[in-house]
A and B are shown apart, each in its own frame.
Chain A
Amino acid sequence: MSQSPERAETANTLEYRNAWSSIQNMIQEGLSWSGRERNCSFLHTGGPRFADVSAITGLDFDDDARAAGMVDWDHDGDVDLWIANRTGPRLRFLRNNAGASKGFVQFLLRGTKCNRDAIGARVELYSPAGRRIQTLRAGEGFIAQSSKWLHFGLNGARAIDKLVVRWPGGAAETFTGLTPNGRHVIEEGSGAARPWLPPDRSVALTPSKAVAPPVGEQARVLLSVRPPMPALPYRSFDGAEAVCAPQGGKAVLVNLWASWCIPCAKELAEFAAAQEDLAARGVELLALTVDKEEDRAKAREQIAKVAPKIATGIATDETKSIVEIMQRALIELRRPLALPTSVLIDSKGRLAAIYRGAAGIERLRADAALLPLEGAALRDAAVPFPGLWYSAPHAAPVDRLARDFMFFGHPEIAMSFLANGATSQLPEYGEIVDADFQTRGDIFLLNGDLVAGRGDAQGGAKLYAEAIKALERELALKPNNSEALHNLGVLHSKLGRLEEALALYRRALPGHAVPATVYINMVRCLRALGRNDEAIEHLRKAIEFQPRDVALHMDLASYLIQLRRIDEVEQCFRKVLEIDPKHVRARQRLAEFFFHKQNFPESERIFREALELAPNDQDVQLGFARVLMRTGRGAEGIALCEKVLAAHPRNLDGIIELGMHYSREKKYDRALGYFEQGLVIAPDNAALQFAAGISQVGLGRAEAAAATYRRLVKLDPKQAATLKDQIRKLPGGDKLLLDEK
């Protein structure tokens, strides 16, 4: 967490969030975090410093312990511990061996005017060992409640003077007649302690070492609610495309195997033997090999021998990916896909079970019997032990599935989970807990872009509308969800409703993780609305949030140039160079700025710096050439331009630069050569057409110039008019242009 941000306002960055989600991912994928730590014990030594006795108390298990409950469980006069752990065994009982030799006394309080358990009572015990106080609490440490018997060690004291109880909300009451090594019930208002004896018992708790079984590689997960299984594509051994998507008929057990996997071969043989029996129970088998291309012949041969009647095929990357994403979304412990892995798809095309490792025929038979179950009955059957529920059955976690499929590159499958308004709603819980309308909105938005990108604008708009619906639902639940507000803005902006978009962006700003993004999208709207000054202001805001984002400074510069606010541009490039002194483009543009300001020495100096950084950069070379030509070093400039063109014959800027140079020198034939070369590359470039026409005029070629004019008039009537005036000055020019009409 050394990267953790300091202030809340700027802290909410994607990077920081991603750090959390990747830590979560890593733990779910089975990594330790502060694991294998041993419980600690500190002994009060009578002085201010406790002694670390962790290793000699016998409490130093490395179980990821959470909660400790204190109780004299066995009535032997000392405090034993129940510990709840994360790793196995998840409960431990630790018997205290201190025993009663140093003396103890225990009290159970009975409230008559306060709560009957007398929770909150303060008791003071007076003995030769001194005054000791305790409070009766319910809930202490972490997620633990200890015994309500208050226990006092007596440190060898042979008598007890008195006990003073301050009942909650009541007065203090004194009790006497207490005996060491005794247990007493103390009833409020009774004035007398009542001795209490534990039931007759002979405790037999012998120590041993409790250990947990290792977490097995094999697993079987019965789905408590069956989510739709995406149609599973695969290929036949002959290469034909196929798809497994049961609809009515039988359930299908899809088995992934490989020829080199020994447990797979064993399981296939079992499948072959049980095939008819399973079919009778409504389960068909489909064995798909994950073998690489070169081993597939071998795999085909192998399965033909071992299980000749089983339907077979090849698992493609897509097949594996779908199975793995389903597994990842539906099982909390995220482990890589194993071999063999099987999935049981019920006759309605829903996923019923996932088997990591060999499924086992007996288990398959048992699970096949559960296939007809639905709803509450299915939920009861899918958990390993019976118990009660107070909530209605959960809906399939379609949002989680959609999210995972989206982020592992299957946006269309992701959307299929959300079709028909499916939700993960938990009605009993009184609110939608799992349904993630925000992610839903993102998925529709993404799919809308995909569809629109394929040229289906109408289909795209339909999905955008779905996205808007989802985000509006999200906002109904969480009105200030700034990311949802933002993405809703994006959608409105896509649909041309710029004012609405702007209003949403404005609302998104306060809590958004990346305010710069919101500002940038506002810039886009403002610009489209022609509100340029506001747009620039917002772009500067974006930069405030991401001051080191070079691209933003460059964007600002471009925008300013476009608005002819040239004087503000210098600062942009200077900022970029401050952040990244090696930024060639910024340096080049800064040099161009000085060129524009006709400060040629400064321009030259900066171009030289840029050239040092990027000696072969065409744009820098050309800019530098321009400076040379403008400052009386035409030959050098031309040579440099020609060098660029030799290396990059299609560099239009270079071509234009040379043409313009010769044109200025009135060497129109050479100029025209360059312009014609440029027009081969960009025939519709108005500036080139214009320049060519001017050169033709310079050479007195009225007819050619008139032809150029006819081309130019379609591209840029304004420039064409200028050319027309020039042609008119040529002998016969008027006539040529008249012909035009």
Chain B
Amino acid sequence: MFSQFFGGYLLNHNIVSREQLSRALDEKKNTRMRLGVLAINEGLMTSEQVEHVNVMQQTVDLRFGDLAVQLGYLKEQDVDDLLHKQPTDYLLLGQALVNMGALSNEGFERAINDYKATLKLDDDDISGDQYDALSSMVSEFYHFSTARNARLYTNYVTLLFKSLIRFIGDDFTPLDASICRTAEGACIVRQLINGAYKGQTIISAEPDEYRCFARRFAKEAYFESDEFDDASVSEFLNVINGLYAVNESNETGTEIGLEPLALFRNEDVPLGEEAFSIPVQFTFGEVEFIVAF
């Protein structure tokens, strides 16, 4: 999930464009990791040193690792370690952006270091799937710590992103959140939360994106109809709300319930309270998630 939020960081800081990021997300599956980007990420080489090796490679018939050792930038053991390192998802994204020319080695070095520093994360935090690291990343990205019910928002949105990766795909970028009082979109699904506290959760999208989202969730069970699209998107929302309710019940003993899902087509839905609008850019388009506690 670090990869998705790193993508969001690059976009929000205007380091890459939406089109470049979308292309890189598409291409990262076929991207081969290069030693230079790995070495920068590990802090073993600076971007200048990587550039130097790259330039030297044009005149000398040596592999990157061998040349870096010859120039005194790396030890042989470092090269060995780097070659055996499994590239993480965010590194593949970074490599894809470097390959496309959207990001220089230096730009990648600056962005990755700034982002890690912002989140106060180390490599162990971002290489695994530790819940605490993920939730602090989510909370930091959306500034939930300043919100009322910060714990609820952080837990819900962390679960939402984990569920997107699990059920829809990892080719998305979280965009900046905003506060809204109305849900607007051609296709809207809403589920209210009741019980120990109240809340509302919404998925909103334009018809094409809504259909793509429905198709991704349904997988081979998909068949094309508006009714099935509604059913599929509704079920996604219902499943993650159910998982959220179970987590709440198990972790804090709080019992919450879910109301039947409601569908809206081509109408604005007043929320009756301030809510977080969380747009997410998939490679097929944008889908908005709205959450209020």
- The yes or no verdict on A and B being binding partners is no
Residues on B facing A (Cβ under 8 Å)? none
Residues on A facing B (Cβ under 8 Å)? none
